[in-house]
Structure 1
Amino acid sequence: MNDWFAGDAQWIWGGTEVSPRNEWRCFRKTFYTPPDAWDSGNLAITADSRYVLYVNGVKVGRGPMRSWPSEQSYDTYDIAHLLKPDQFNTLSVLVQHFGVSTFYYIRGRGGLLVQLDLSASGDGASERIVSDGSWRTARCLGQDSRASRMSCQHAFTERIDAGAWDDEWLLSDYEDSEWPYAAVIGKAGIEPWENLKPRDILPLTEETVYPVKVEAMNRVVPVSWTTNIDLRSQMIPGCEDNANEYMYAGYAATVIRVEAAGKATVGFPYAPPHFNGLIINGERYAKQEFIAFKSEKYLGIKLREGDNLLLIELAGKDHGRGLFMGIDCDSAFELHSPIVESATDFDISALIDNDSGSGTSSLADNSPFITIGPFECYEYIDHRYSQEDRSRQRTIDACGSSNEQVSAALDEQAARKVSAFRESGAAASADQLAQWKTWIRPVPDRLVSKESILALSVWKKGSFPEPVPAALQQVVAANSVPGVVPIYEHADTEIIVDFGTQAVGYISFELDADAGTVIDFYGFEHMRDGWIQHMNYLDNSLRYICRQGRQRFTSYVRRGFRYLAVTVRGAIKPVKLYGVQLQQSHYPVAEIGQFQCSDSLINDIWRISQTTTRLCMEDTFVDCPAYEQVFWVGDARNEALIAYYLFGSEEMVKRSLELVPGSKGQTPLYADQVPSGWNSVIPNWTFFWVIACREYYARTGDKAFAESVWPHVAFTLDRYLDLIDERGLLYMDGWNLLDWAPIDQPREGAVTHQNMFLVKALRNAAELAELAGAFQEALSYRAEAKALSEAINSYLWSEEHRAYMDCIHADGRKSDIISMQTQVVAYLCDIADHDRKSQLKSYLLSPPPHFVQIGSPFMSFFYYEALAGMGQFSPMLEDMRQQYGQMIEYGATTCWEMYPKQKDGRAIPTELTRSHCHAWSAAPAYFLGIGVLGVKEAAPGWSAVIIEPQPCGLSWARGSVPLPERGRIDVSWSLDAGGYMKLQVWLPYDVEAAVHLPHGYEGTVDIIRIGQPPESGSAQTV
């Protein structure tokens, strides 16, 4: 327990639920400040799940950082300057409780903890104000808790009714006497927040970013009805405690009641993987029959007058993405629940591996939907995929298959479940479902959104471009004169605002509108020639329902995007829009690292790498600012090296690395994203973490870190060594991933690249062991690495192909796939002997076309790392020009997650990438620093460096590389017409430097020392 909360501060909450779903709650504490103002006012605060703190209406900060519940993070602020002497002052806190686990939050319970210590230096007076039962609290009634999940990775979108809540609650003179008092949960130290840890990195930025233009304006006609259904929470009661996938088979059902027979369209924008089709009045339509573009699926149907039974067939994995759907029909229609009155309480706990409780539901407050089933259901965890699980997988597959023949491999019980699934799905009307009433449960309103802003944004009945009024363009800047958004009869108005680059933060806007006018916001990353690439499986939306008059609002949900579609719906008179901005939010960094050269394309590539890395630095490194905002452990190893060369940011790296062992309670193999509710393991990601720990020591010389992390490294590697088989190979069943490419990396088997990276991790662990004084363990790990390397060479080398094969399968079959990925890793991990190593070098310099080629910028990092080890920097730059040049050609301002699909040697414009801003792709920012600038560390803490630039066909280059703790290294070189090099280096006096001209070059070297020279001796240049 930290001393900050050693006093009387208590966790408080309100309402009737311990952990309500998507609840925003407001807290207030008003206190008097004497005429002699306090000199010091230090406030500590944390909340579950997130908070925004205000003092007298002034926003002070947001938090807390992501953390394990047992190590809850808290923030501290100096607020003395915001207190008004001889007046009443108010602390106001908005707490957002998720009530579900995500990929960056593990469900705890609703709670707020605050302590404010006030003191005066003159007379020594002091006062302490703490969270306790004297605080007032109320639900934020302007926030709709039925807003949909953004994605399985994220929490919830926002649906705000400005007329239902008054922002005056933030101010001291607000009358809160009718608010209930907060309920006390207990003192600091109670579960689940047993330990409290202070923020150990800087708070995120909040800087106003303005758009550059209004890209387009459209007159749009919406479809009739949309929604999002949280099927995972409905089918698996209790699953909110984790973010794992579940396998199940069953149905969602409703009745469409129409006034007259006619045609309709049922649409499923971003239908989840376990969506298998529809049954309308007994007629089945498989998903293959839908009109589909990527994951958007639409079906034209005929509806009879009166009631039409709609069954949605579900069989497969559900990771919590929700079912986005809509219905468009020219005739008036309503949705009704089929035979809810016949449904009974239903307990599915016996069907789930971990007993999560019963799925009972009352008939009150229910939506028009019911579910039937699940007929089979179990939790799917990546590193615990047992034989029983595979048997159940076959049951799910049989349920979801259009083939009526049930596999003979299914046991009798499983066959009965498949039969029940099929028979209930054959119902042609609601009354025919009565016989399945014991499988039926109503879907409560809380799991069904009132409408889906994503579905409305993606699926439009009509969209007609209109010229953008010149006056409307002024909304891109701070302006006292509004742009007027025109309105159209029988249509809504959509404007698309371009921020000019990918960005991340909180949407902010100011407007004047009539009460009840709806403003929908939808962020996305890419559009070209009028075509929008929608955000697959990401509901990046916000709905704002206006109060009367002029108003402003700043979102409480952090989002990433470049373009923002703003749609005005239901307006009686034109909306005056004063501006749309973004409060940009990322980790504050100084742009110390710099790079310029004679090739403008390479400069552009470096620049998008820098921007990408900055936008993907939150309270940890994150994979991307839009789709996930998740700390993927393996990605962060590469991102750390990039950040060292751009910003330094050693404190960010250390925090990220220290979070990883907290997943030990989930798995001894350590999770691949932390802290997360998804219990998932990618073995390579754990090995990269070990490597990153050793590289952090090399960067900082922090021996205390090496000593503290060593036991955690040993703990997990020992568990991996337990999985070494009789051949001496790592053999396991798990997510054996390295690259998004058709390499042979099965779930179960001895995967070659994985074995190789374990060798490197063991060698790195041996170095950490020595630093920690564990010399015997260091010897043991080196011996294990040697034995594993020998086993790889014995079993995983193909003499026929003169290369390393990708794997040996579970059945003993040797892979016939040879990939560049495996050869790159073999070279990088120093697996091959002299002859084989020479063979690998030839492959790296001239990749054989029949090998599987590198499929992602993430894998390119390791390829570049291998080329750098060979001293081959020119092929690296050529690969950057080709691969990253495609991104620049399509207007990229940040690095893409994947390389685009190709046709006839050209990128397919609609198949570019998923994420347009992904930090695992920012490799050029690192490799241009170690290559073209030639700056590399030569001793821990960078007390010594090697500087040897590589021209790579360039005529000049200059740039800077941050040093840890203080200072930087500046390098500038140029070549004259005769190839004579002039090299200049600036660096601190106490950094030992070995400066070399490139091999084969002649020229001059000029070294300028910065700072006070030592009294005796000098850090000389060699």
Structure 2
Amino acid sequence: GQKGNRSEWKGKEMKGYYDVFLPDGGLRQFEPLWIRTFRYVKLTIETKEEALNVLDFYNIYTAYPLQQKAIFNTSDDRLAKIWDAGWRTARLCALETYMDCPYYEQLQYIGDSRIQALISMYVSGDDRLAKNAISQFYNSLQPMGLTKSSHPSDGNQIIPPFSLLFINMIHDYFMLRDDSIFIKQFIPGIKFILEWFASKIADNGMLGPLPYWNHIDGGTLFKNGSPPGISEGGSAHMSILLAYTIDKAIDMLNFFGHLCDAAYFKTISTSLKENTLELCYNKEKRLIAETPDKRMYSQHTNSIAILAGMFDERDEKIVAQKIITDTTLVQATLYFNFYVFQALKKAGLGNEVINKMNKWSELLDQGFTTFPEHGVNSRSDCHGWSAHPLYDFLNITCGIAPSSPGFKTVEIRPQPGNLSFIKASMPHPLGEILIDIQERKNTASHFKIILPGGLTGKLIYKQNTYLLKDGLNEFILE
């Protein structure tokens, strides 16, 4: 059956994990052998000749000690509620490692952990779980050239796109932390992974048939979460994701002096983009199809295409607008909206992200106190990847992002939507970044930005650029 509103429990049946304790008549204290995550607890007690006295029942909260250092206050009260539920979700999905969910698998998956690491670094400034996750995933590299989908785990599940997201996760850390010694050790593995994918490129210049489970987004029209073109070859999504990831790898290869490798992989990236556009771009729809037969189109693939720089500025906006308005596209779930929102940001339509938060608001209306894996009828009611609005608010709405490796400079490109004011801050390795925006319709807007000592950057607003120094920066802009 359907789960329904999570705040309504009367007349419903509780299913899930349970513990059985057998009292012996003495004074005893019982506890489970491992953590239990719950919204409600049901006690079923059966006695024999003697009554049972329950003197107390309580729980002890345990999680990785993430501390909320970022602040995000706005004119829209619903965003504060999303922020609170998102932070609760993120905390419950972090223990000795990141976990996809605290109730079911409790596994550190790459697709989930990339988002969770960004949340940790943006909201708490704590990068220790992120570094641990990157090291764990690197240690899971298999002899053929791919990582496991999750690690540590005793299983050996392979999800090829997660190996690409692993490289993107390393790049995220590369941009947010000045930690060259840590990053440099992963360069051989990055090349190893990319070579596996390069070996799968077919004669038409796109990726050919791919083995294993190529999960992109569950809970969609994609079969088992995999886009078309996997088993038979010609997946636009995987071809573009590979090109996008290669471009991120090239940043790191050039930084560490691997210039020949960077040039070699650049030719592969360029070829993948050119051939995928030629074979899969529909000039009438002005969208990229999932395969050369042009039968299916999705938010997913067109978002990754924007992020990969497949279009010029004009066409990029057209595609982004279609991602927003065209309901015939395969729609992204909560998880993949992370990439959809980043695409909207790149195309200059990040103002729309605030409107897209309705999905999360509706979950709160359904009684959720954390965010689920896919939607109302998800199995997991608490899934770390669905907490990405925490990152979106700071990275897209406030527009705070590193503009050079190690976060040595900052770019602030606010896309506040219809918010009349924003007061926010986030931790930086040098201190704290504070931003105060007062938007006034039909009049000048007031910006107050404070950067920590030693950090400089730029403010980009309505296609104009303003230099930022460390300390206080104030602008009145029209």
**TM-score, normalised by the number of residues in structure 2:** 0.89
**Residue 668 of structure 1 aligns with which residue?**
145
Within 5 Å, which residues of 2 pair with 1:142-157? none
Within 5 Å, which residues of 2 pair with 1:264-283? none
**Residue 462 of structure 2 aligns with which residue?**
999
Q: Which amino acid aligns with 1:853?
A: Q
State yes or no: 1:841 paired with 2:320.
yes
**Residue 450 of structure 2 aligns with which residue?**
986
Q: 1:917 aligns with which of 366, 370, 382?
A: 382
State whether residues 300 and 331 of structure 2, in contact with CA within 8 Å, keep that contact through their aligned partners in structure 1: yes
**Residue 773 of structure 1 aligns with which residue?**
257
Give the distance between the partners of 2:124 and 2:448, measured in 1 at CA: 22
Structure number, greater radius of gyration:
1
In structure 2, the CA distance between the partners of 1:874 and 1:772, relative to structure 1 (3 Å rule), is: closer
Give the distance between the partners of 2:187 and 2:21, measured in 1 at CA: 50
Within 5 Å, which residues of 2 pair with 1:20-169? none
Give the distance between the partners of 1:532 and 1:705, measured in 2 at CA: 51
Q: 1:790 aligns with which of 254, 265, 274?
A: 274
Secondary structure in 2 aligned to 1:931? helix
In structure 2, the CA distance between the partners of 1:777 and 1:865, relative to structure 1 (3 Å rule), is: same
Give the distance between the partners of 1:821 and 1:534, measured in 2 at CA: 35
In structure 2, the CA distance between the partners of 1:1021 and 1:959, relative to structure 1 (3 Å rule), is: closer
Report the RMSD for the aligned CA atoms in angstroms: 2.8
Give the distance between the partners of 1:815 and 1:932, measured in 2 at CA: 34
Within 5 Å, which residues of 2 pair with 1:404-483? none
In structure 2, the CA distance between the partners of 1:932 and 1:826, relative to structure 1 (3 Å rule), is: closer
Q: 1:737 aligns with which of 203, 210, 215?
A: 215
**Residue 627 of structure 1 aligns with which residue?**
104
State whether residues 253 and 261 of structure 2, in contact with CA within 8 Å, keep that contact through their aligned partners in structure 1: yes
Shift of 1:739: 1.6
**Residue 611 of structure 1 aligns with which residue?**
88
State yes or no: 1:551 paired with 2:34.
no
**Residue 944 of structure 1 aligns with which residue?**
409
State yes or no: 1:754 paired with 2:265.
no
Shift of 1:945: 1.4
Shift of 1:889: 0.3
**Residue 56 of structure 2 aligns with which residue?**
579
Secondary structure in 1 aligned to 2:264? helix
In structure 2, the CA distance between the partners of 1:600 and 1:993, relative to structure 1 (3 Å rule), is: same
In structure 2, the CA distance between the partners of 1:747 and 1:294, relative to structure 1 (3 Å rule), is: farther
C-alpha offsets along residues 30-54 of structure 1, whole Å, 9 cap, x if unaligned? xxxxxxxxxxxxxxxxxxxxxxxxx
* Paired residue total: 466
State yes or no: 1:819 paired with 2:283.
no
Shift of 1:995: 4.0
**Residue 653 of structure 1 aligns with which residue?**
130
Unmatched 5+ stretches in structure 2: none
Give the distance between the partners of 2:32 and 2:176, measured in 1 at CA: 38
In structure 2, the CA distance between the partners of 1:790 and 1:976, relative to structure 1 (3 Å rule), is: closer
Give the distance between the partners of 1:860 and 1:534, measured in 2 at CA: 31
Unmatched 5+ stretches in structure 1: 1-292, 296-524, 809-813, 901-911, 1011-1019
Give the distance between the partners of 1:564 and 1:721, measured in 2 at CA: 51
Within 5 Å, which residues of 2 pair with 1:959-978? 959-964=424-429, 966-975=430-439
Shift of 1:559: 2.2
Shift of 1:815: 4.8
State whether residues 334 and 373 of structure 2, in contact with CA within 8 Å, keep that contact through their aligned partners in structure 1: yes
Shift of 1:571: 4.6
Shift of 1:527: 5.2
Give the distance between the partners of 1:533 and 1:942, measured in 2 at CA: 50
Give the distance between the partners of 1:935 and 1:802, measured in 2 at CA: 31
Q: Which amino acid aligns with 1:885?
A: S
C-alpha offsets along residues 893-942 of structure 1, whole Å, 9 cap, x if unaligned? 11121123xxxxxxxxxxx3221111111121011112333322222222
In structure 2, the CA distance between the partners of 1:644 and 1:1000, relative to structure 1 (3 Å rule), is: same
Q: 2:345 aligns with which of 868, 876, 892?
A: 868
Q: Which amino acid aligns with 1:999?
A: K
Q: 1:885 aligns with which of 361, 375, 378?
A: 361
Q: Which amino acid aligns with 1:899?
A: G
Q: Which amino acid aligns with 2:462?
A: H
In structure 2, the CA distance between the partners of 1:730 and 1:977, relative to structure 1 (3 Å rule), is: closer
State whether residues 446 and 474 of structure 2, in contact with CA within 8 Å, keep that contact through their aligned partners in structure 1: no
Q: Which amino acid aligns with 1:884?
A: W
* Structure with more strand by fraction: 1
Residue identity (%)? 23
Q: Which amino acid aligns with 1:819?
A: S
State whether residues 93 and 99 of structure 2, in contact with CA within 8 Å, keep that contact through their aligned partners in structure 1: yes
State whether residues 306 and 346 of structure 2, in contact with CA within 8 Å, keep that contact through their aligned partners in structure 1: no
Secondary structure in 1 aligned to 2:38? strand
Secondary structure in 2 aligned to 1:613? helix
Shift of 1:801: 3.7
State whether residues 706 and 771 of structure 1, in contact with CA within 8 Å, keep that contact through their aligned partners in structure 2: no
Shift of 1:591: 0.9
* Structure with more helix by fraction: 2
In structure 2, the CA distance between the partners of 1:834 and 1:679, relative to structure 1 (3 Å rule), is: same
Secondary structure in 2 aligned to 1:733? coil
**Residue 205 of structure 2 aligns with which residue?**
728
**TM-score, normalised by the number of residues in structure 1:** 0.43
Give the distance between the partners of 1:569 and 1:659, measured in 2 at CA: 45
In structure 2, the CA distance between the partners of 1:859 and 1:532, relative to structure 1 (3 Å rule), is: farther
Secondary structure in 1 aligned to 2:163? helix
Q: Which stretch has the larger CA shift, 662-671 or 769-778? A: 662-671
Secondary structure in 2 aligned to 1:961? strand
State whether residues 984 and 1007 of structure 1, in contact with CA within 8 Å, keep that contact through their aligned partners in structure 2: no
State whether residues 280 and 291 of structure 2, in contact with CA within 8 Å, keep that contact through their aligned partners in structure 1: yes
C-alpha offsets along residues 718-748 of structure 1, whole Å, 9 cap, x if unaligned? 1111111111211213312212211343550
C-alpha offsets along residues 340-397 of structure 1, whole Å, 9 cap, x if unaligned? xxxxxxxxxxxxxxxxxxxxxxxxxxxxxxxxxxxxxxxxxxxxxxxxxxxxxxxxxx
Shift of 1:573: 4.2
State whether residues 663 and 670 of structure 1, in contact with CA within 8 Å, keep that contact through their aligned partners in structure 2: yes
Shift of 1:834: 6.0
State whether residues 457 and 469 of structure 2, in contact with CA within 8 Å, keep that contact through their aligned partners in structure 1: no
**Residue 71 of structure 2 aligns with which residue?**
594
Give the distance between the partners of 2:24 and 2:456, measured in 1 at CA: 65
State whether residues 422 and 438 of structure 2, in contact with CA within 8 Å, keep that contact through their aligned partners in structure 1: yes
C-alpha offsets along residues 811-859 of structure 1, whole Å, 9 cap, x if unaligned? xxx2511222221121122223567535413313x422322222x1111
Within 5 Å, which residues of 2 pair with 1:225-236? none
State yes or no: 1:804 paired with 2:288.
yes
